[in-house]
Amino acid sequence: MNKKVIWITGASSGIGKSLALKFANEGWIVAASARREDLLQGLNKENSNIHSFPLDVTSIENCKNTFKKILDQFKEIEISFFGTGIHDPKSEKKFNLEKIKKITEVNYFGTLNCINSVYDYYNHKQSGQISIVSSVAGYRGLPAGGAYCASKSALSSFAESLYFEMKRKNVRISLISPGFIKTPMTDMNDFPMPMIKTPEFAADEIYKGLIKGKGFEIHFPKSFTFIMKFLRILPNSIYFKLVEKGMSKIKY
């Protein structure tokens, strides 16, 4: 039986790396993409099911060409998982416009560039999955996270819109909304991160959601994400007071 194929972007570290290893260990062929080719080659040494396809998501043509290379080599792709993302809380505290633009370019438009590269393929295939990594940070605005929150909120809204369109073509759209996961990106945070989990935990939750689940949103850990969902429905006046109280406790 032929092995199924998943394309994972942001695969060089964090959730993407752990997910690549999880799928590879489960017998899938993994097309792993990120800018750092040396780290992707290291993944191949850990598991020969993982194949390196370097990618700069900010380049429309690079996304198209990389997807074509993957398709030429493996002929069919079951799941496209788009997980590239950056964050810089220190820059956002100072309203660094260039960094804000970069975060938006990578997180939002970079993901759209990837979706653009596979859109026609899934449109004609009329099966398979496109999975988009957002964050619970997209639920509401958070301190020192304006660009990151906005980029993830935009992704969540876009995924919801894409869901309606692709459902008619039998293509599943899934939204990944993690809480705090220990990655090189969250290591930059200078505040306590409640209920933080490992990338391996995230990979297990995502794998179960993609393979065994059928719902739209895969969010975890639920003990934290349900709190964030509750905050999302609070009136602004209450939400702002709660967050400001929290900020005073952590000496933001």
- Could you give the CA distance from residue 14 to residue 144 in angstroms, rounded to a whole number? 21
Active-site residue, from 108, 122, 139, 148: 148
* β-pairing verdict for 50-52 and 79-82: unpaired
Strand order in the sheet with 129-133: 50-52, 29-33, 5-9, 79-82, 129-133, 172-178, 217-220
Q: Is 148 among the catalytic positions?
A: yes
In the chain, DSSP finds a helix count (H) and a strand count (E) of: 10, 7
Structure tokens at 64: 């198209």
DSSP 187-200: GG--S--TT-B-HH
**Which is nearest to 15 in space by CA: 183, 212, 180?**
183
Contacts of 114 (CB under 8 A, 6+ apart): 9, 57, 63, 67, 80, 82, 84
Contacts of 54 (CB under 8 A, 6+ apart): 33, 34, 35, 36, 37, 40, 66
Contact at 8 Å (CB) between 7 and 192? no
- Could you give the CA distance from residue 243 to residue 139 in angstroms, rounded to a whole number? 14
**Which is nearest to 154 in space by CA: 143, 144, 162?**
162
Q: Give the active site residues.
A: 148
